[in-house]
Amino acid sequence: MTLATRPAAAVALAASLAACGGGQKESKEPKEKPAKADPARALAEARAAAKAGELSIADEKYTEAAKGKADVAIIEEHVGFLLASALPDRAVEVARRYYDINPAEPRAGLLYVHALIGAGDFATAIEVATGVVDLAGKSAAGYEARGRALVMAGKLEEGIEDLRKAVELEPRNAGHLTSLGSALEQAKKPDEAALQLRAAIEADPQNARALRLLGVVRRAQFETQESVSWLMKATKADPTDAEAWFQLAVSQNDMSDNLEAEDSAQKATALAPTVSRYWYVYGEMLRINKKVDESIAAYRRAIDARPPHPKAAGKLAKVLYENDRPAEAEVFLTDLLQTDRNNPDLWFNLGFAYAAQKKTKLAIEALEKFLELASKDDGLRKAAEAELKILKRRR
């Protein structure tokens, strides 16, 4: 009898324990497994966001892609995107992180140097590039990177020496030839610069940077028509290169093709709307082409940019006093002179603004102040001296 009742009691006890949560494990919902990283998808999303101008999203997706697959090519593309998007500090951060993990990898060092140069930290760039040269022995890429950093730091001859070593080691490398040609152009050695740049273009006919630089060099050699030809090739090779459009505008202006120059300068400002010299040259072309209001707007953009273009304010005033608005020019210039009294360009234009209003004494004083402040080789000195003679005869 007792044996018969034990199973029933056990069942009742088990049921009681189950009811109050004891005696057995709770049932749990199965956890969702985290989604696997998909570097290819993240990279595609980064590129799409970059193309759409969504910089923060692109940066985030590039970072995600690199976490899923720590491929140096992805890091290089990420850094290149950041530099092209005017985010040099973030580019240095990304490159530095990869370099710290891979200090013995020359490619990581070179990428870090590239980012540092883009951020203007030339001293650190030289230091890191020297490490790459020491690490890799006769490294053409290391010499080229250090050479560029030295040139950017103002150490032209040292930089050219390193760039020559890079070219000696890899004489058909278009990038090294271009960097050497650029340094020689900065060193005012246009003949040798042209030789190196032609060699770069022969090695890579679509080398937009070499095409642009050769156009600049040929203009310095007074071959303006050929300069225009090379610069047009540069804009075709890379239509997004604002500097190429800017240089093309300058050469077209030298050829008196000012409507074409206006169009080229406008393209430069559209591609790089924060660069003051692009707005200044666009303003110049608009002024020459008698588009008064548009030129004033362009000069104002050149003034508002940081740093502002040093001649934009004077040219804006010139447009005003040459178009029957001298009083407006006077107010504009005198206001600027409250905080920039040693700017000769402002005094020069103020003199002409006064002269246009028959304020002869004030005009003479302003132009004499210009001559006092201007350098001996200032191109405006002759115009100021000629105007002073006329004004003094009026007294």
pLDDT number for residue 208 = 97
pLDDT number for residue 34 = 53
Q: How many CB atoms lie within 10 A of CB 256?
A: 10
Residue range of the domain that includes 90: 70-166
Q: How far apart are CA 82 and CA 166, in angstroms?
A: 27
Are 228 and 251 contacting, i.e. CB atoms less than 8 angstroms apart?
yes
Mean of pLDDT values over 77-97: 95
- Number of domains comprising the chain: 2
Q: How many CB atoms lie within 10 A of CB 52?
A: 10
381 inside domain: yes
351 inside domain: yes
Q: Phi and psi at residue 374, in whole multiples of 5°? A: -70, 150
366 inside domain: yes
Q: How far apart are CA 9 and CA 5, in angstroms?
A: 6
235 inside domain: no
Query: Above 60 in pLDDT, residue 33?
Result: no
Q: How far apart are CA 315 and CA 296, in angstroms?
A: 9
**Which pTM value belongs to this model?**
0.80
264 inside domain: no
Query: In sequence order, what DSSP letters do the residues of 286-303 get, joined into one string?
Result: HHHTT-HHHHHHHHHHHH
**Last residue within a domain, chosen from 144, 166, 188:** 166
**Cα 362 versus chain centre, distance:** 42
Are 255 and 282 contacting, i.e. CB atoms less than 8 angstroms apart?
no
Query: Above 60 in pLDDT, residue 1?
Result: no
pLDDT number for residue 8 = 42
Mean of pLDDT values over 376-384: 95
At 365, which CATH number? 1.25.40.10
pLDDT level of residue 17 (50, 70, 90 thresholds): very low
Query: Above 60 in pLDDT, residue 190?
Result: yes
- 């500097």: which residue's tokens? 243
The two structure tokens encoding residue 274: 């924060």
143 inside domain: yes
**Last residue within a domain, chosen from 120, 142, 166:** 166
The amino acid at 356:
A
What digits encode the pLDDT tens for the residues 89-111?
A: 999 999 999 999 999 999 999 99
**Last residue within a domain, chosen from 150, 166, 182:** 166
Query: Above 70 in pLDDT, residue 23?
Result: no
Q: How many CB atoms lie within 10 A of CB 9?
A: 9
Percent of the chain residues past pLDDT 70, beyond the cut = 90
Mean of pLDDT values over 256-261: 98
302 inside domain: no
188: region left, alpha or beta (phi > 0 left; psi from -120 to 50 alpha): left
92 inside domain: yes
The answer for residues whose C-beta is within 8 angstroms of residue 313's C-beta and 6 or more apart is 299, 303, 332, 333, 336, 343, 345, 346
